Structure 1
């Protein structure tokens, strides 16, 4: 375990010493901020729910976010209790407020991938462009920002990707199993 953490720290330190710049500091702070508490994804989902044509897909995104939160933040983080990189390697000055909670898996990544995944899978198009590609770009930037800002290890981000995909697939399965159209008369 120590060798794995050491190798992951080497990756994070490489990012710190080779990629850090004032411009990227601002870009990464922006992406991590919009990922806080799934803010950007909740906003997107609410817009989708308001628009009648995308309402069901909006509920699907919300369901994926809830499932991501349960799987990632309530279950895995509390079982594994992995410390964050800045708690292990104390020689880096963080440029954001120290996040609380445990490191594995990355909640920012999990929620971002869950939302982007269901947006992509639900084939939400705008002028013949699948908006899932844009959602994945934002999700990847949010995920990378967590490494750049020294608050997650690469394995945390990979774990977040996996939990996000699981949450997305589970949401799609649940919505398919309990298709709300069957209950339209009751609503």
Structure 2
């Protein structure tokens, strides 16, 4: 089923001269754009201390999620779908294994962080961006659907871990949120 859904999503790749560049752009600049949006939260006018805390948590979850992925990659060596002849690749080949998707981990860790901190409008925006990034990775042919689901799960776990371990209004948090 994973291969069938992956092939179905990827079957649209290379067929639409308008949609292909959009998906390629999302897959290339989606995560940097999300990072930029988190950074810009630092200058929020509403509930500044809390939003700054959330921005720090998002950064920590982002890094923790990617670190977890590096550990997973030591044990799971899944071939990319384009190397297995399962997808049509629209971007340059990747040098690492397919599972889990770092893009999905990075984007979903940020979205889940905002969800856990009860910032509903921001949460919706970040989840929309994360879903587009995840979908684009399958569309451009670089990941299976299960790769992005696995990456999303890693991002969610990282966000939950940061939520449990990094406390708002702790001495470290007060220092970090007072910068600038």
Counterpart mapping for 1:50-89 below 5 A = 50-51=43-44, 53=48, 54-72=51-69, 74-89=70-85
Contact 1:78 1:102 in 2 (8 A): no
Considering Cα pairs closer than 8 Å and 6+ residues apart, tell me whether 1 or 2 has the greater RCO: 2
Moved over 6 A (4+): none
Instruction: Tell me if 1:149 matches 2:140.
Output: yes
Secondary structure of the 1:109 match is helix
Partner Cα distance (1:147, 1:88) in 2: 14
Partner Cα distance (2:102, 2:122) in 1: 22
Instruction: Tell me if 1:29 matches 2:24.
Output: yes
Q: Alpha-carbon deviations, 1:118-146, whole Å to 9, x = none?
A: 11222336xxxx21111101100100001
Secondary structure of the 1:87 match is coil
Contact 1:81 1:103 in 2 (8 A): yes
Moved more, 116-125 or 45-54: 45-54
Q: Alpha-carbon deviations, 1:33-66, whole Å to 9, x = none?
A: 123xx41232122222354812211101100101
Q: Alpha-carbon deviations, 1:53-102, whole Å to 9, x = none?
A: 12211101100101111111x1112220111101111773x221112211
Partner Cα distance (2:146, 2:125) in 1: 24
Contact 2:111 2:130 in 1 (8 A): yes
Contact 2:115 2:123 in 1 (8 A): yes
1:18: Cα distance to partner?
4.7
TM-score by length of 2: 0.84
Partner Cα distance (1:185, 1:32) in 2: 35
Q: Which runs of 5+ in 1 are unaligned?
A: 1-6
Counterpart mapping for 1:1-187 below 5 A = 7-18=1-12, 20-35=15-30, 38-51=31-44, 53=48, 54-72=51-69, 74-89=70-85, 92=88, 94-124=89-119, 130-176=121-167, 179-183=168-172, 184=174
Alpha-carbon RMSD: 2.4
Change (3 A) 1:10 1:185: closer
Name whichever structure is richer in helix by fraction.
Answer: 1
TM-score by length of 1: 0.81
